[in-house]
Structure 1
Amino acid sequence: MSYDIALIPGDGIGPEVVDATLPILDAAATAADFDVETTRYDWGTDRYLNEGAMMPEDGLDRLASHDAILLGAVGHPDVPDHVTLNGLLLPIRKGFDQSICKRPAVLFEGVDSPLKGYSGGDIDVLVFRENTEGEYADVGGREHRGYDNEVAVQSAVYTRRSTERIVRAAFEAATERSGHLTNVTKSNAQAHGMVFWDDIVSEVSEEYPGVEVERLLVDAASMDMVRRPDEFDVLVCSNLFGDILTDVGAIVTGSMGLAPSANIDPGRDNPSMFEPVHGSAFDIMGEGVANPLATVLSGSLMFEHLGEDAAATALWDAVTDQLADADAPRTADLGGESGTEAVAADLRDRL
Structure 2
Amino acid sequence: MTHPAPSSSSHGGADTLRGIMLAFAAFAAFSCSDASVKLIRDGLPPYECAFFGSLCALVVFPFLLGGRDRLVDVFTTQNRTLWMVRFIAYPLGIIGSVTAFSHLSMAEAFTLIFLQPSFVTLMSIVFLKERIGWPRWLAIGLGFIGVLIVLRPGLRPLSIGHLGAVVAGMAGAISVVTFRASGAHEKQISLFGAGILGGVTICGLVSLPSFALPDAHQLALLASYGLLAALANVLLMHSALHASAGAIAPTQYSQMIWALAIGHLVFGDSADMVTLTGIGLIICSGLITLVREQEKHVPGPPPIAVSRGHAASMLVIEDHEEPA
Same fold (TM > 0.5):
no
Q: Which has the higher contact order (CA 8 A, sep 6+)?
A: 2
Whichever structure has more strand as a proportion of its residues is 1
Bigger Rg, which one = 1
Provide the TM-score with structure 2 as the length reference: 0.30
